[in-house]
Structure 1
Amino acid sequence: MGRIIAVANQKGGVGKTTTSINLAACLAEKGKKVLAVDMDPQGNLTSGLGIDKNTLEYTIYHAMSGEINIGECMIVHPLEHGLDLSVLPANRDLAGAEVELVDAEDPQHILKNLLKSVKKKYDFIIIDCPPALGMLTINSMTAADTVLVPIQCEFFALDGLSQLIYTINLIKKKLNKSLEIEGVVFTMYDARTNLSLEVVENVKNNLDQFIYKTIIPRNVRLAEAPSFGLPINLYDSRSSGAQGYRDLADEVINNKLYAKL
């Protein structure tokens, strides 16, 4: 049965969508069957996987609003190269869900109920959350088994993290008793600066959570890849960014936390 991972951090610009795209693609590269779910109205995961978000007839929004079933908005294998990676896309239509879903029956469980019908078909379902702790993120965490938290190697890395952890624990208490924190992954690491090293050490000393050994480097090719609609392992397979996300995929696959789920 598929493991559902919500990639979340309410801070923008921390590499959340980059991590969602490239973790999903690298898991697929390793032979896993993967579904990537775009829960961000910006639709960057959708476009980063080569899908024109502006021409879509149906998106995850239409499935959540009950207009269609989940299969009608799913895009199967948008990338070539034999990757078993499918996408539930999003665009700006999803922004309306924050308001509209409040009046729905059991609004926090809409995504969870949708994914029930397909969960058994996938090894991993990766959910890209919006950079806010609203209804869409609550839906994502209620549906998830675990939450993966990307942290940028910057001075304010810990800012807002306590609020995110508080929210995760609240959702666990009220809505999803099996929810766990998958772990923390450092992104945008620059080995040339002392600051990146200091941030890593500071977070390790102040955060009582599992921290992945893999550290994603700041990499030009990684930044370029989304504009070509490709994950980094297809855009530049030999880049340090590609190797970083392959290493992270290995760690996620072997995470002992899954033995408890």
Structure 2
Amino acid sequence: MPLAEAADGTALHYEVHGSGRPLVLLSGQSNSRRWWDPVRDDFAAAYRTLVVDWRGTGESGHPETDSYSTPGFARDVVAVLDHAGIDRAHVYGTSMGGRVAQWIAADHPERVDRLVLGCTSPGAPHGIERGPEVRAALSQPDAAAAHRALKELMYTPGWIARQGAHPVFHTLGDPDMPAHARRRHLRASARHDAWDALTRITAPTLVVHGTDDVFNPTANAPLLAERIPGARMQLVSGARHAYFEEFAEVATPLVLEFLAGQAGQAGAAEEGA
């Protein structure tokens, strides 16, 4: 079980699958490496993929300190790369993982080949925040109703219905995550602001977002694409926040084509910027 060590001594668990050029896959807030389970093998067929348990999740350490921030998570990822002996990699981050990926590309440009930012945001104050109705649905006292609301923000109702009686969803939070770490993840993501750093990104960048994402509003995609020099944007029609899973038949090929230097050939998506 590979364990890197962060600068503050926190253990950082990661896994490597496949072979070839390295590709780092970064998951969303309060989620472990399992976020990528449904599609990881599709990437591992072409790349040496590295998935990470954020501090506070999975088999990484769960420090009760103020060490949780998106720039700090970026430093954790660099520590993992160092431990794995990877000098440079493609980086694909989704949701909070996309926020962290922004810092990796801006602060550690020598470590990033190509960058993919999925369903993410530049952060406050320049990003577009989710609406009050979304916040209310997620914070309602009925835990089952809040869980159902989160699921419907991630996936379309039709896709949820097709998953059967006892579906397994890997994007709804690490069930074993302690409460103190969950609070710190929420605060770290909410405090993210990479607006000034985005102009420093030099890696070829693809911004991907679902057209029907209200959890992290789609309007954030053009903000990122216009702010990052030379970035491209692809919108996945009809997709909500977990576009990379439900719409994998569209999203995975367009990301793979971009990583291979063939961006723009995936005609199943809507393109802009």
Q: What TM-score do you get using the length of structure 1 for normalisation?
A: 0.37
Identify the structure with the greater helix proportion: 1
Higher RCO (C-alpha under 8 Å, 6+ residues apart): 1
